[in-house]
Amino acid sequence: MNSNLAKLILVIEPDCNSADNLRKVLRPLYRVSVASSGKEGLDMAFADLPDLVLLDVKLLDITCFEVLVELKESDLTRGVPVILITDSSSAEDEERSFTLGAVDYIAKPYHPATIKARIQMQLQTREYIKTIERLGMIDALTNIPNRRSFDLQLRKEWERAVREQNCIGILMMDIDDLKLYNDSYGHIQGDALLRSVARVFEQTLKRPADFVARWGGEEFVILLPNTDCEGSIAVAEQVREQVEDMVVSLSDGTPSHTTISIGVNAMVPGRSSDIDTFINEADKACYEAKRSGKNRVVHSC
């Protein structure tokens, strides 16, 4: 099966005939959505997160440069390649488009083979970049995303929550008494415990959008898009119970156990809301969970 069929190409083209021609050329190879104006194209881009955008220079409502700026300023779409299509050959416009983040510039009339080749090249380049980025975003010990990866994911989901006015939840989690565990069984066994806990987190989360990462040391964090306080607390209790029931075998086969303390926060962020405060409130709740006896969930929402 052609893997390109899963790729979504967004065509922003006010000319109906040109849009139909592009749709016919691309649909055998990709999923294609079409917007007839710049504002409609931006709405579709933020909602659907296409793999590539074909943007006509001559829009009727806003300029193509305004579209480019919004796409490149958003964490949701910054990495999406944008190819401009034009019937002019202005060197000034071409230079400006590259400065604003376009990756290619195709002049009309174009040959279908040219469009296909340019799109394929940009999609391959993007996959290569994503692979390189992933290598720096995975925690080597637990093989789950690291803090840098979480920070990027949080900014994307935060922006989406602000735009759509949806609730977003966060769980700050700390393994109880990991130092004592390491002192008792050794750091190699402690590493095995960290890996086991990470697997429990991954197995407990059910939705594709839920995101777990290693925050650092014995701390982990879970991001829950479209989840209110009550839902976040429910996930936290489920995670806590799964870790409490987990068995990690020592080198001699003896079972060992651990528990975690969890701080929960959830909110519908606004334009003036602060991400750091959002995280810190969950972190404070996690500290309170440890201070008040460990192996429990405390929420700040």
From the candidates 40, 92, 164, 218, give the one annotated as an active-site residue: 218
Rounded Cα distance, 196 and 234, in Å:
21
Taking residue 17's Cβ as centre, other Cβ atoms within 10 Å add up to 8
Query: In the annotation, is 230 catalytic?
Result: no
Cis ω before 269 (30° cut-off from 0): no
Rounded Cα distance, 83 and 85, in Å:
7
The neighbouring-strand residues paired with 88 are none
Rounded Cα distance, 70 and 79, in Å:
12
Instruction: Show Cβ contacts of residue 166 under 8 Å, excluding neighbours closer than 6 positions.
Output: 160, 225, 226, 268
**38 with 62: CB under 8 angstroms?**
yes
110-138: burial string, b at 16+ Cβ within 10 Å, e else = beeeebbebbeebbeebeeeeeeeeeebb
Instruction: Show Cβ contacts of residue 183 under 8 Å, excluding neighbours closer than 6 positions.
Output: none
Query: Which residues are identified as catalytic?
Result: 218
